[in-house]
Chain A
């Protein structure tokens, strides 16, 4: 496989995953807006910071107006990470690697892109936001469905998954980073405005509230939430799950040579770090080091497989 093809596959799925993650965040914010929650501003603030776009947004806007933020995140050209731009990049990479993906996967991506272009280029009113998010997420699920069902189980698929899990790890660690103070041990810290509602919002922003509650007998606690997001190997958005998937895919590409490779070693060290801290993880520097390690891991992959 060409290095540049691996590059396109990897980035195609980083962007698709980023779109999915961003949509989840918009949805959680929008729910609060509909409930006219008093936490609304805090929530938007956290969402904008997670996406590193708070500064850009406030350049143009004086207040955290919900619909303005949603518009900004969906389609404002001033936001370089808006859904339209992200998906455009995903599709561009899909075109570049068109030969490596099945026509089912390609058509799923292309139809999603056509849909977003049609819907987001119109004026977006409040009543449509949920429909757009729901339809887009369904279309993304279709992409992953076809990826799973129509592609050969070979290194092409491995690179798609590497992009997906590196990006997902990045997203989860960013969410944790922005709100790490909520997850600190309750005995150690007390501050104003702290309540379970904010913990709930963390879970909602990655669409995992229900699965958390199901696993934890409807009891929401900071240490349990952080365990769920960091160490739970069954939770598809947890850091542990993501790094395990990364390791699995790297093994599969490297075949027998994997112990020597930097990327593989680095992925193992992330896994180890999470294991060691499994019951006592809640500090900023720990999360920040994971964030950086994941970035290095992505760079290792790009270098080792001759991306361009």
Chain B
């Protein structure tokens, strides 16, 4: 076997030496028949295809794509994981305090921790939310925190996704698949459970119900519909939660309450787990021509007759320019030292930093402040001179919209190929659920892997795949 990687590899120190986390696994692997594994690998894709696990990449055709799944698990030990849980809990709580403050008294601005223009000029800051506290004072019920590893000691936070983070269904399906494919392997390890995600999600959604509702609140999952790229996940989660999967057209505001159209007439809705963006929620408050939302929903919300999870306006806390202030936000609200590190971020809105960015584009990764899915970014070291100069103009035109980060040496993990194991770059999305100031971090998360050799882009819309993530119990 030749296994060579320039950056930190989570499984191998070198070709002949395996790290502790992977020792048991690699010795199992070496005893497997390669033809058998190749067959299992293709069975895995067949399994996903038959169950309809799909991800639609936006294009003109109706084709549904499968996210490639790799059968080699990513293994994290309990010590590393415990630190992650503490760090994620801290961030999620701090973000909720920040949102409460930024739509309320704005103490953080008054204290000069965050510049006012960063909020004022930000399209993710919703004036409709000013002076309003959501039911149970919770904004970010569901967070998807993206992490990367660059050496043996540290995970860095790359992004805090608190708008409509997706991926939990793949985390669960990946585990189901691994259990089907390698039942004997999983039983050898004490791997922490992650398929309880829906149970916890259901609990926090129930807890978030507005006071006016009954003991058993009526929860719905609001989807943009079957043509949305993440529709599979919406249906999957609604199914696991045991709630109705609704579209905007199923809902209507009647007498200050939100109702859904059932076969027996209208029925009151107490909690919306929404999977559509803020601007589509209510054509009377946001985008006028949106058919995805419900006219008048925001008024019902502001009267606290319905809970929207996550709350509208949470985006102000996870854009890439606010990101660089998260350590300050943690210190300001919790009085604690941040447990997880941020990646060094240059803010193009600041003159000196802009100059540094423009001078060093070939070394940096530049991202749009509101971008996602790996789109609208420049990976300096891989870009051509023309691409760089084009991007330079874009940044100059609108520096507020860009941040830059050094190219990170993302860790690698082994993936399976016919020729044996080979290293690929990975990141990790962890899911955290918040209700009544209590955070639950789901054991493990979704490991995304860049399947192309050398590639750092792990996004599923750009050829990334996923792996099962094992947290070993201590």
Inter-chain contact B261/A4, CB cutoff 8 Å = yes
Within 8 A of B (CB), among A117-139: none
Chain-A contact segment, one of B246-254, B289-297, B372-380: B246-254
Q: Does A111 contact B (CB under 8 A)?
A: yes
**Which chain B residues border A4 with CB–CB below 8 Å?**
246-247, 249-250, 261
* Chain A residue at smallest Cβ distance from B220: A2
Interface locus among A28-36, A102-110, A168-176, A241-249 = A102-110
Binds B, one of A39-47, A58-66, A92-100: A92-100
The one of B231, B239, B243, B262 in contact with A3, judged by C-beta atoms closer than 8 angstroms, is: B262
Q: Which of B236-286 contact A (CB under 8 A)?
A: 238-239, 243-247, 249-250, 260-263, 265
Given known A155-B263, A306-B261, A306-B262, contact A5–B244 (CB-CB < 8 A) = yes
Contact in complex: B50, A111 (CB < 8 Å): yes
Chain B, Cβ-Cβ closest to A4: B250
- How far does the alpha carbon of A155 sit from the alpha carbon of B238 in the complex, in Å? 19
Closest Cβ–Cβ distance, residue A10 to chain B (whole Å):
11
Q: By the criterion CB–CB under 8 Å, are B51 and A107 in contact? A: yes
Q: For residue A103, which residues in chain B have a CB less than 8 angstroms away from its CB?
A: 51
A1 within 8 Å of B by Cβ?
A: yes
Q: How large is the interface on A (under 10, 10 to 19, 20 to 34, 35 or more residues)?
A: 20 to 34
Point out the residues of chain A lying under 8 angstroms from B243, CB to CB. 99
Q: Are B235 and A1 in contact (CB under 8 A)?
A: no
Residues in A with CB closer than 8 Å to B437 are none
Taking residues whose C-beta sits less than 8 angstroms from the other chain, chain B's interface range is: 20 to 34
Residues of B within 8 A of A96 (CB): 226
Is A217 positioned at the interface, with any CB of B under 8 Å from its CB? Answer: no
Interchain CB contact (< 8 A) of A2 among B52, B235, B239, B260: B260
> Are A308 and B51 interface neighbours, CB within 8 A?
no
- Name the A residues within 8 Å of B80 (CB-CB): none
Q: Does A6 contact B (CB under 8 A)?
A: yes
CA distance A200 to B44 in the complex (A): 48
The CA-CA distance from A103 to B265 in the complex, in Å, is: 28
- Whether B250 contacts A92 by the Cβ 8 Å rule is no
- Report Cα–Cα, A44/B304, bound state, in Å: 64
Question: In the complex, A2 Cα to B244 Cα: how many Å?
Answer: 8
Q: Give the distance in Å from the alpha carbon of A253 to the alpha carbon of B226 in the complex.
A: 27
Closest beta carbon of chain B to A105's beta carbon, Å: 12
**A114 close to chain B: CB less than 8 A:** yes
Across-interface contacts of A99 in B (CB, < 8 A): 235, 238-239, 243-245
A305 at the A/B interface (Cβ < 8 Å)?
Answer: yes
B49 adjacent to chain A (CB < 8 Å):
yes
Known: A2-B244, A3-B250. A253 touches B52 (CB 8 A): no
A interface majority secondary structure: helix
Known contacts being A2-B260, A96-B226, A98-B245, is A306 close to B231, with CB within 8 Å? Answer: no
Q: Are B52 and A106 in contact (CB under 8 A)?
A: yes
Give the distance in Å from the alpha carbon of A308 to the alpha carbon of B247 in the complex.
12
Q: Contact at A2–B250, with CB atoms within 8 Å?
A: yes
User: Contact between A6 and B52 (Cβ–Cβ < 8 Å)?
Assistant: no
Within 8 A of A (CB), among B44-89: 49-52
Task: Name the distance in Å between B252's Cβ and chain A's nearest Cβ.
Answer: 11
Q: Nearest A residue to B235 by beta-carbon distance? A: A98
* Distance (whole angstroms) from the CB of A306 to the closest CB of chain B: 5
- Docked pose: A4 CA to B52 CA in angstroms: 21
Docked pose: A306 CA to B265 CA in angstroms: 7
Asked if A110 and B245 make an inter-chain contact with CB atoms under 8 angstroms apart, the answer reads no
CA distance in complex: A92, B227 (Å): 10
Min CB gap A86→B, angstroms: 15
Question: CA of A106 to CA of B54 in the docked complex: distance in angstroms?
Answer: 14
**C-alpha spacing A113/B385, complex, angstroms:** 47
Known contacts A99-B244, A110-B50; decide if A3 and B226 are in contact (CB<8 Å): no
B235 adjacent to A110 (CB under 8 Å): no
Q: By the criterion CB–CB under 8 Å, are A306 and B235 in contact?
A: no
| Distance from B247 Cβ to chain A, minimum over Cβ atoms (Å) | 7
In the complex, what residue of chain B is closest to A113 when comparing beta carbons?
B52
Nearest-neighbor residue (CB-CB) of A306 within chain B: B261
Q: Do residues A3 and B263 form an inter-chain contact, with CB atoms below 8 A? A: yes
Bound CA span A110–B53, Å: 11
Residues from chain B with Cβ under 8 Å of A155 in the complex: 263
How far is the CB of A291 from the nearest CB of chain B, in Å?
26
Are B235 and A114 in touch, CB under 8 angstroms?
Answer: no
Query: Given the complex of chains A and B, what is the CA–CA distance between A308 and B252 in angstroms?
Result: 14
Contact B260 A98 (CB under 8 A): no
Q: Are A95 and B231 in contact (CB under 8 A)?
A: yes
CB distance from B341 to the nearest CB of A (A): 40
> Closest chain B residue to A91 by CB distance?
B52
CB distance A114 to B50 under 8 Å?
yes
Contact (A2, B50) CB under 8 Å given A92-B226, A95-B226, A95-B231: no
Q: List A contacts of B262 (CB < 8 A).
A: 1-3, 306
C-alpha spacing A4/B247, complex, angstroms? 9
Q: How far is the CA of A114 from the CA of B244 in the complex (A)?
A: 27
Chain A residue nearest in CB terms to B51 = A107
A5 partner residues in chain B, CB cutoff 8 A? 244
Shortest Cβ distance from B62 into chain A, in angstroms?
8
Evaluate contact between A308 and B246: CB separation under 8 angstroms: no
Cβ contact within 8 Å between A308 and B235: no
The answer to whether A98 and B261 touch across the interface, beta carbons within 8 angstroms, is: no
Task: Kindly state the separation between the CA atoms of A98 and B50 in the bound complex, as whole angstroms.
Answer: 14
Q: How far is the CB of A307 from chain B (nearest CB, A)?
A: 9
- Say yes or no: A308-B52 contact (C-beta < 8 A), given A3-B261, A4-B261, A99-B235: no
On chain B, the residues within 8 Å of A3 by CB distance are 250, 261-263
In the complex, which residues of chain A have a beta carbon less than 8 angstroms from the beta carbon of B246?
2, 4
Cα A107 to Cα B247 with chains together (Å): 23
B231 surroundings in chain A (CB, below 8 A): 95
Known: A2-B260, A4-B247, A92-B226. A107 touches B235 (CB 8 A): no
Which residue in chain B gives the minimum CB-CB distance to A114? B49
CB–CB A107/B52 < 8 A? yes
Residues of A within 8 A of B239 (CB): 98-99
Residues on the A chain within 8 Å of B261, using CB? 2-4, 306, 308
Rounded to whole angstroms, the CA-CA distance of A96 and B231 in the bound complex is: 9
B contact residues around A305 at 8 Å (CB): 263
**In the assembly, what is the distance between CA of A2 and CA of B49, in Å?**
28
A5 to B260, CA, bound (A): 12
Name which residue of chain A comes closest to B263, CB basis.
A305
B22 to chain A, nearest CB (A): 33
Query: What 1/0 mask marks residues of chain A from 243 to 283 whose CB sits below 8 Å from any chain B CB?
Result: 00000000001000000000000000000000000000000
CB distance from A138 to the nearest CB of B (A): 16
Could you tell me the distance in whole angstroms from the C-beta of A304 to the nearest C-beta in chain B? 8
Could you list 11 examples of A-B contacts with CB < 8 Å? A2-B246, A2-B261, A6-B263, A92-B226, A98-B239, A99-B238, A106-B52, A107-B51, A306-B261, A306-B263, A308-B250
Contacts A2-B246, A98-B238, A308-B249 aside, 4 further interface pairs with beta carbons under 8 A come to A2-B260, A92-B226, A95-B231, A99-B238
The 7 closest A-B pairs by CB, nearest first: A98-B235, A305-B263, A99-B238, A110-B52, A3-B261, A99-B239, A99-B245
